[in-house]
Amino acid sequence: MRQAQKRSTPNNLQFAVLGLVSNRPDGVHGYKLTDELKALSDDFWETNFGRVYRVLDSLQTDGLVAGSEEQQDNRPTRNVFRITQHGRQTLDDWLLSPVSDSPKPLRDEMSLKLLFLGPERVNEITELVTRQREIYMRKLSELAVRRRKLEAAGMESRVVELVMDGVEMRVRSDLAWLDHIGRKVFFEFLDPTRPAK
């Protein structure tokens, strides 16, 4: 008897492919996906046709996309992929969840989410930014507590201080970017007649 395969949690590259497939209700083939992914994500990943097909195979195994053969005039058949209902729900769940409960640089994943949410989903973008901002504010509070603990333990050396400064600066940088997104969403998506500040 064949044992059921356990579904894996997609990674960011898989979500990028899933998002691109979701934008093509009539289906999309691997070569086209590879071109689109390169244009979209050259800053994030090195992509090639073989890697995209491995991702598509994984998504198909997990039931997130369905592939079918398509006949072409005077050319070999090609596989065309469409997102499944399960894939659409999985993508939506990911798009609307905070990037991280344990802040790390969030630009790659947040950028990806913003690309696939799109300007027509202003309320979801605003909610995502608000929830992510709360997580980062908590992180700043935790960093302040950690600084005091390090000082109390006699570890307030210049090097420790510089390391803590670096962590805090990264969190504040991501907070500033989230605030920038919030302003842009408000001024440009909700009221396109008003100039962004």
Together in a domain, 22 and 86: yes
Together in a domain, 22 and 84: yes
Together in a domain, 147 and 89: no
Question: Residue 3 has what pLDDT?
Answer: 45
Question: Residue 179 has what pLDDT?
Answer: 92
Residue 197 lies in a domain: no
DSSP for the chain?
-PPPPPPPPP-HHHHHHHHHHHT-TT-EEHHHHHHHHHHHHTTT----HHHHHHHHHHHHHTTSEEEEEEEETTEEEEEEEEE-HHHHHHHHHHHTS-S-SS----HHHHHHHHHHH-GGGHHHHHHHHHHHHHHHHHHHHHHHHHHHHHHHTT---HHHHHHHHHHHHHHHHHHHHHHHHHHHIIIIII-TTSPP-
Residue 46 lies in a domain: yes
Together in a domain, 82 and 112: no
Instruction: Identify the residue whose tokens are 């999985």.
Output: 90
Residue 3 lies in a domain: no
Residue 153 lies in a domain: yes
Look at residues 60, 95, 130 and tell me which one is the last residue of a structural domain.
95
| Residues contacting residue 197 through CB under 8 Å, at least 6 positions apart | 183, 187
Look at residues 62, 95, 128 and tell me which one is the last residue of a structural domain.
95
Residue 7 lies in a domain: no
Residue 85 lies in a domain: yes
Residue 47 lies in a domain: yes
Question: Residue 4 has what pLDDT?
Answer: 46
Together in a domain, 66 and 118: no
Question: Residue 1 has what pLDDT?
Answer: 41
Q: List the structure tokens of 108.
A: 């790659």
Question: Residue 45 has what pLDDT?
Answer: 63
Together in a domain, 76 and 150: no
Each residue's pLDDT tens digit in the chain (197 positions)? 444 445 556 778 888 889 889 988 888 888 888 877 776 655 456 677 788 889 999 999 999 999 888 777 777 778 899 999 999 999 999 888 877 666 555 656 777 888 888 778 888 888 888 998 998 899 899 888 888 877 776 666 777 788 788 888 988 998 999 999 888 887 776 665 655 55
Question: Residue 85 has what pLDDT?
Answer: 96
Question: Residue 50 has what pLDDT?
Answer: 83
Residue-number span of the structural domain to which 81 is assigned: 12-95
Together in a domain, 114 and 91: no
Query: How far does the chain reach from its first CA to its final CA, in angstroms?
Result: 63
Domains in the chain, number: 2
Residue 5 lies in a domain: no
Together in a domain, 183 and 152: yes
Together in a domain, 76 and 119: no
